Amino acid sequence: MHAKRGTLPACLLAAVGWLVPAVGLAQPADLSVEQAQLQEKFARLESLAVRIAEFVESDNPDRAQQLRDAIGKSRDLALRDRFEAIVTLLEQERYAAAQRDQGQLADNLETLLGLLLADPREARLEAERKQLKQAIQDVGKLIREQNALRSETLDSEDPSGGVEPQNALEKRAEGVEQSLDELIKKSDPSAGDGQTPQQPSGEPSDQGQAAKQRAGQRLSDARSAMKKASGQMGEGDSQGAADAQTEAQRQLEETRAELEEALRQTREEEAMRTLTRLAARLRRVLSEQTEINRLTVEVQELHGDAVSPQKRSASAGLAKRQDEAASIVDGALRLLSEEGSSVAFVEVLDQVREDMTSVSGRLMGSKCGSLTQAIEQDIVDALDEAIAALDSQLAEMANKDQQEQQQSGGGGGAMQEPPLVDQLAELRMIRSLQVRVLKRTRRLQESRKGEQIAEEDFRQMLDDLSERQERAVEAALRLSQQ
């Protein structure tokens, strides 16, 4: 249910995505007509976005705001006016100026598409994680101070002196409770309406929300116990006050445990979203790489080793596609580097990018033979293994979460930040690195025996293998130290 609510209508995304390349595809004879048609389609797209924002406002305010932000960006950039200006330029046959403006417009549409594709839930999760960490720290301080007050109560002959400090602590607890209530309402606009919270469905976001609500109730109970302790101290009942303070401390510790569970669920949801997005990017690259490989074989079979103008043109086109695929891998690498915990996955994708650069260079040189095809196959194998490792981790995370939900309502988690990619998936990638070094070593040895490779190329490839072996060892050592 949450996935559906968080997804923009496919027609809207497809429309913007289609407009980006279409802006510069028409031929001179019909450019002004086709550009005018694009202008009309964009105007309808803006109107559709407005209606969709109004339609989803009640169920999905984040997406509604996202659409309004995209509409605002479109108007800030005056995209409608720019469409119209290009139509005028084409009617006047000022093709150079029109082409320049079309390039700028295509870039603006790419920006707009990026806004529509972004997941507003991710920014909320990051903010929620920071707020939960702060709440855990605040509750920790309350626990320490409550424990100290209880000791003073037991040691004091006149407990009435502790009334003011206890009241002050209760007041600080009230502030923490108010902050937590605000967080609960931001996480679920229906929370705090007096209704009984629904049973969690098993998704991390639902379980985290339930944990926050339980934490809020525990904190309210802790404040009640603090007030009772103040009353007992005012009456001179040291033991009664100490018992109430013990209850307050117990409720505070339960609050912290529930907040830690909510934080764990938030981290888990962030990780699942990031891994899902990473796997989707790699699948996109794999699909494109498989097609590049197929076409490389076709070009080589059609033209052989001879370099003709037709072969140069075909292989240069493939080199461009290879560079575009490498740029997607760059995006995946940035995603992992920003998170910072992965070692082997980063190394694998870094080597994939290096191989893509190598293939692009060879294709630009019209080298479509067996060595190029072998490197291309290495890229496919590495992507296959990376996707399989990510899918396996996602399945394990979903299964673990379901089991925990069935076994209990959750419990306090460790405060240590878990890695994005677990150690088992990282070990799979270490193995993948070593397997590919071994395959290339054997391939190089066979090429050397058959005198299929020049001495200079042999030395270069040998140095590259040596470096990759060292990098695989270094990645394994770094992983063992985590």
- pLDDT of amino acid 205: 64
> 173 near 226, Cβ under 8 Å?
yes
- Pick out the chain residues at pLDDT < 50: 1-7, 10, 14-15, 17-29, 189, 191-202, 408-414
CATH class of 121-266: mainly alpha
Per residue in 85-96, pLDDT tens?
888 888 888 888
Dihedral sign from CA coordinates of 197, 201, 202, 204: negative
- pLDDT of amino acid 176: 92
- pLDDT of amino acid 192: 41
Provide CB contacts within 8 A for 416, sequence distance 6+: none
- pLDDT of amino acid 93: 80
Among residues 48, 111, 54, the alpha carbon closest in space to that of 79 is found at: 111
Per residue in 71-120, pLDDT tens?
888 888 888 888 888 888 888 888 888 888 888 888 888 777 777 766 66
Instruction: Give dist(CA 250, CA 137) in Å, integer.
Output: 16
Domain boundaries, the chain: 1-118, 121-266
- pLDDT of amino acid 412: 47
pTM of the model as a whole: 0.64
CA end-to-end span of the chain:
37
Residue with tokens 């990051």: 126
Residue with tokens 């650069």: 357
- 3-state SS of the chain is CHHHHCCCCHHHHHHHHHHHHHCCCCCHHHHHHHHHHHHHHHHHHHHHHHHHHHHHCCCCHHHHHHHHHHHHHHHHCCHHHHHHHHHHHHHCCCHHHHHHHHHHHHHHHHHHHHHHHCCHHHHHHHHHHHHHHHHHHHHHHHHHHHHHHHHHHHHCCCHHHHHHHHHHHHHHHHHHHHHHHHHHHHHCCCCCCCCCCCCCCCCHHHHHHHHHHHHHHHHHHHHHHHHHHHHHHHCCCHHHHHHHHHHHHHHHHHHHHHHHHHHHHHHHHHHHHHHHHHHHHHHHHHHHHHHHHHHHHHHHHHHCCCCCHHHHHHHHHHHHHHHHHHHHHHHHHHHHHHHCCCCHHHHHHHHHHHHHHHHHHHHHCCCCCHHHHHHHHHHHHHHHHHHHHHHHHHHHHHHHHHHHHHHCCCCCCCCCCCCCCCHHHHHHHHHHHHHHHHHHHHHHHHHHHCCCCCHHHHHHHHHHHHHHHHHHHHHHHHHHCC
Instruction: Give dist(CA 464, CA 472) in Å, integer.
Output: 12
> 305 near 355, Cβ under 8 Å?
no
CB count within 10 Å of CB 213 equals 22
> 323 near 354, Cβ under 8 Å?
no
Long-range contacts of 108-112 (CB under 8 A, 24+ apart): 108/77, 108/79, 108/82, 109/16, 109/19, 109/20, 109/23, 109/79, 110/20, 111/73, 111/77, 112/16, 112/70, 112/73, 112/74, 112/77, 112/79
Structure tokens belonging to residue 386: 């990376």
Provide CB contacts within 8 A for 212, sequence distance 6+: 132, 180, 183, 184, 187, 258, 259, 262
